[in-house]
Chain A
Amino acid sequence: MRNLNILLLFFLVILLSGFHIESKSTTGDRVLVLLDKEADKILYKKFFATLEKENKLSYKLPTDSSLDLFEFGERKYDHVINFAPKTKKYVDKVNPLSLIKFMNSGGNIILATTSKTSENIRDFVREFDIEIDDKDTFVIDHFNYDISDEGKHTLVIIDNNKGNSDDSITNNPAILSKKVIEGSPILFRGIGHKVGSSPLLAKILWGRNTSYSYEVRGEDQKSIVDQEPFISGNNIGLVTALQARNNARITLVGSLDFFSDRFFDSPVHNVITSEKFPKSGNEDFAIDLVKWTFQKKGVIKVTSRQHHKEGETEQLETYRIKDNITYTIEISEYANDQWQAFNGTDVQFEAIMLDPYIRKTLTPLPVTSSPDSESRKFITNIQLPDVYGVFTFRVNYKRPGYTYIDDKSVVAIRPFRHNEYPRFISAAYPYYTVTASMIVAFLTFSTVWIFNEDSSIKNKMKKTN
């Protein structure tokens, strides 16, 4: 009896712990943290503490020769946090080439830069079509700086989203939660970058209209703006993300201080507008950024897909032209640490043979009664085109912030079989009549011919015989 109790308890514990798994990433929880110096760890204590709740962090210097992102060809880490922008020379195992290989095999990266960012990092981000501004430049805003700024106006305040044209923060719910978008302003001190035109890039935080990026000299020197800044205003990228085609994510944050405990805890006091907030929005923002980058949110997937003739259930590989078919796809989204029904309404279906012949928005069905339903069905009824060939049924759903869905199923659409045409055509009735009357006439004629004795023939036969 006691044994049984222990056993039950044991199961209960397992069950509970199963339920209790916290915000687990859909890809993994092994994180490599690269730091310029061991001592830097203390600066970002709070940030790392939040991470350590859910992940296994290993701290390394990029000069550590034992460092390797791969082991036996497999990824050793699921995510990399690169807080070492100043180190000039990385070991080969974490050079830009390896980091891109790491992403190509599905790893995610958070990269923070400062005004002292090394050429190494610049080369790396250039591959993503991002150009970091020159060394020693800062993002400067004379109209939105915090009271604790040291006189150069480089500690800028990025306001929360007010729905203005002047917004400098994305309102994409897939990346940032409502709390962050509408929460306290964000403190930023660091370098800006120029965001290229690659369609895979998504801007998350960018400079305000009044900001510009320029070189800041030492205390004593006055910096005169005598040249067109490389980037200014809305064109300054502060936080930019790229989601690769294999859904691996990289987030570039222009400020390393952004993650520091000092910024996390600092109150915000805008000198010009004298707006005050007890605590900056940096911590919440950072958490969301990590969540998104580590694939804990904004992740959607296809759980099942089916197509069949209307009124049937069997999925066929070959349909006939002009068949009516039903196409269903189930999509679930990873949110709040579990898979749940995806709420999008703009999922489209395409039937493609070189060009799309049909493009139709799928109707989302209400989630079935059971609350633990993990996905939502999207459904449509279509009539296949009157063209035979090999068609690709494709759902190509690519929205910023969400992982990509590109679901393809290839079916052949064949022409009518020989016995699928109408047997009798009304237009052809005259011909049927002609044929029938011809048959009758032929038979009659032959009968008459055979049974009618012709004397002349008889005579002839006699002659020849």
Chain B
Amino acid sequence: MKVLGLDTQNLSALLKVVILGLIAAVALASRLFSIIRFESVIHEFDPWFNYRTTRFLVANGFYEFWNWFDERSWYPLGRVVGGTVYPGLMVTSATIYNILRTLNFTVDIRNICVLLAPLFSAFTSVAAYLLTSEIKDSSAGLLAAAFIGVAPGYISRSVAGSYDNEGIAIFLLLFTFYLWIKALKEGSAYWGALTALFYFYMVAAWGGYVFIINLIPLHAFTLILMGRFSSRLYVAYSSFYILGTLMSMQIPFVGFQPTRTSEHMAALGIFGLIQIIAFVEFARSYISSNQAQILFKSFVVLSFVGMLSGLVLLTLGGYIAPWTGRFYSLWDTGYAKKFIPIIASVSEHQPTAWPSFFFDLEMLIFLFPAGIYLCFKELRDDHVFLILYGITASYFAGVMVRLMLALTPVVCVTSAIAISRLFDIYLKLDDTDKDNTSAKNNKPAIEKSNTSAKSNKSAIEKSSRKGDASRSTSSSTSKSSEKKKKSEQFRILGFDTRILVITNFFFFLVIFTWHCTWVTSNAYSSPSIVLASRQADGSQYIIDDFREAYYWLRKNTDYSSKVMSWWDYGYQIAGMADRAVLVDNNTWNNTHIATVGKAMSSSEDVAYQIMRRHDVDYVLIIFGGLLGYSGDDINKFLWMIRIAEGVYPNEVREVNFFTPRGEYRVDDEATPTMRNSIMYKMSYYNYNELFGGQGQDRVRGARIPADKIKLDTLEEAYTTENWIVRIYKVKNLDNIGRSLEQAGAFELGKKKRKRVKRAN
């Protein structure tokens, strides 16, 4: 049978390419909502830093970037950007930019940055295809590619404009795993080296590389425990670990961490263990006595225990850094709240609420266990990997919202396996008339497994003695292939049954795509620097206060002005307003952030001292009370207080901000400390005047106290259209040496208190 002059094999290859191409196109296109709705603009917070550094890289070249000391952030400490950044993202876009330049496509660097994440999500779907085809077959691969292409869990971090590390990291994660599976299957150093290479790229791109460097050793360790140690594992792991570690150490931000920190110790330990086991296996092939076997085994166990205790000793001795707080918070979700409020204060570090699993993955979350079950049924080496990945990732996703991202790929892959298995059974149209394509699809796979089993056997035979474990392995593989044959015999013959199931699942898939598109367009495509709302007549109303304020700063303040704001807005101020900031989203110095928190939560006198000391010219706050924008500074205020209290426990006390009944209030019942804090004053300054009476805070549903708020050390410099951003200027010291409070009173016509007259 020939179509278009191609035989079926070529035709199916062509179809695969076309389908994959279409999936990639869909993956890219569905991420463009934000550009169409709003404009080609960088989103959120971190992307602004990435964008700023990319521009710097493009303008000044790689070495300047490498050595960049940014004196305009973290004033006056400055930040060594080159050594504290994962440069993969910036270098990627700069490379694309330069390639396009040499081809005479003069594309703006901003557009490259905006479109980088959608582009890489197209690559991700290809990587998912490769990984799944390696584990099951190409039809499952195509399904996995389609799933990952539109799964909201991934889209949430990769829409156009979301120029963040995760955008390229998920592709690298999946591709590295694909290469690892490949290397393990082939047992070749070549694939192992390729794994290492992409691992290096991953290290350069995202801090989440730690997941890889722990998951792969875990996989290796599990295989060893299952008695599946083989020379393939040895070659793959050794080549990956050595090359990967050496390469990862070339990133300045990582440096010597792979030899110094607990996060990397598992990989090192497994590397040592695998060497010992390899040596034992080698020695075993020459010695046959039973006593020697026991000796070897105890040697392996002893060395493992020895390494573990060595690790503990080194950690206690301070040679190896213990786990960082961020990792502790993965085990104990209450840990960060207690000890490191700065980590807990980030919304994406909160534990995941259960509806968001359904929201982000829809039906895939139900198919995920089915896929895992199918993996257990076959339980080849790569299935073990998938199971481990699934278990660890689902745990992490439950602990931190942000790690939903790491879970999404494995959910897509396993559900693709489940669905494709279902279709394998129900879509076999005619078993009497052997359909060529399916037969051909299945045959090579079976042959392959046969050959691999054969080669396994021969390998085992060659080594004169073999442990019980390896015997059981071979038997299990043969068993699984038998099972496979059996299950192929179970055919659903009834046409009606098939129709029922297939229609159902077809319906599910349609709903899934529907849901994904809806979520993408409604939840994940807002740039968050531009807000949109609906007016009464249904037309869109754009709230552009952030850019309005940043633009005002850019145009109306001195270039050397320093702006104090809560750290959330640091990157945006640096990127959009181009002004020096005290703290930003790179939260490397907790004390500095706590100082800003202290300034915000203190009375004017104390705050003024801090602001003078840090040369602050302007203070920027976010106030949502008028519009009902709930992500404002008063709502974040408790975190500022907590963080400040962590460093200045005697000067800032969280208790003082709560009413005696333990409520956090801004109305008449607000505590004096709350009302005296400059954050409160700045938020509600002149707010009552807007209402001509008592102001109404629409976020907290509270009426603001009627008495006028007096600010002596700050003066209102700018307030945006919807009052979301308010900028205050820090006053200079009084010219004739009064306190600013006295000066303010004098301006209002109040006279200083006279001394009591002498009685005559």
Contact = CB atoms under 8 A, between A and B. Distances in A.
Nearest to B755: A131
Given A97-B746, A410-B560, A199 B735 contact: no
A103 B736 contact: yes
Nearest to A464: B458
A135 to B, nearest CB: 9
A104 B67 contact: no
Nearest to A353: B76
Contact of A412 (B78, B733, B751): B78
Contacts of B747: 97
A126 B751 CA distance: 9
Nearest to B77: A389
Contacts of B560: 410
Interface stretch (A26-34, A240-248, A292-300, A449-457): A240-248
Contacts of A215: 760
Contact of B76 (A122, A128, A390): A390
Interface string B608-647: 0000011100000000000000000000000000000000
Given A97-B746, A97-B747, A318 B736 contact: no
A53 interface: no
Interface residues of B, number: 34
B758 interface: yes
A200 interface: yes
Contacts of B613: 354
A93 to B, nearest CB: 16
Given A123-B752, A354-B614, A244 B75 contact: no
B738 interface: yes
Nearest to B560: A410
A410 B560 CA distance: 9
Interface residues of A, number: 39
B283 to A, nearest CB: 19
Nearest to A411: B71
Interface string A71-106: 000000000000000000000000001001001100
A321 to B, nearest CB: 10
Interface in B709-742: 732-738, 742
Given A244-B737, A390-B78, A412-B71, A134 B757 contact: yes
B353 interface: no
A306 to B, nearest CB: 19
B735 A127 contact: no
Contact of A100 (B615, B736, B757, B758): B736
B513 to A, nearest CB: 49
Majority-rule SS of B interface residues: loop
B80 interface: yes
B66 interface: yes
B758 A245 contact: no
B69 interface: yes
A44 interface: no
Nearest to B82: A418
A273 interface: no
B76 to A, nearest CB: 4
A318 B758 contact: no
A417 interface: yes
Interface string B67-92: 10101000111101010000000000
A388 B589 CA distance: 14
16 contacts: A97-B749, A103-B735, A126-B752, A127-B752, A128-B736, A128-B737, A200-B736, A245-B732, A245-B735, A245-B737, A246-B735, A248-B735, A390-B75, A392-B615, A414-B78, A417-B67
Given A244-B735, A388-B78, A415-B69, 19 more contacts: A97-B746, A100-B735, A122-B754, A123-B752, A126-B752, A127-B746, A128-B736, A198-B738, A200-B736, A215-B760, A227-B759, A245-B734, A245-B735, A250-B736, A318-B69, A389-B77, A390-B75, A390-B76, A418-B82
* Closest A-B pairs by Cβ, 7 of them: A414-B69, A412-B71, A390-B76, A200-B737, A198-B737, A417-B67, A126-B752
Interface of A: 97, 100, 103-104, 122-123, 126-129, 131, 134, 198-201, 215, 227, 230, 242, 244-246, 248, 250, 318, 353-354, 388-392, 410, 412, 414-415, 417-418
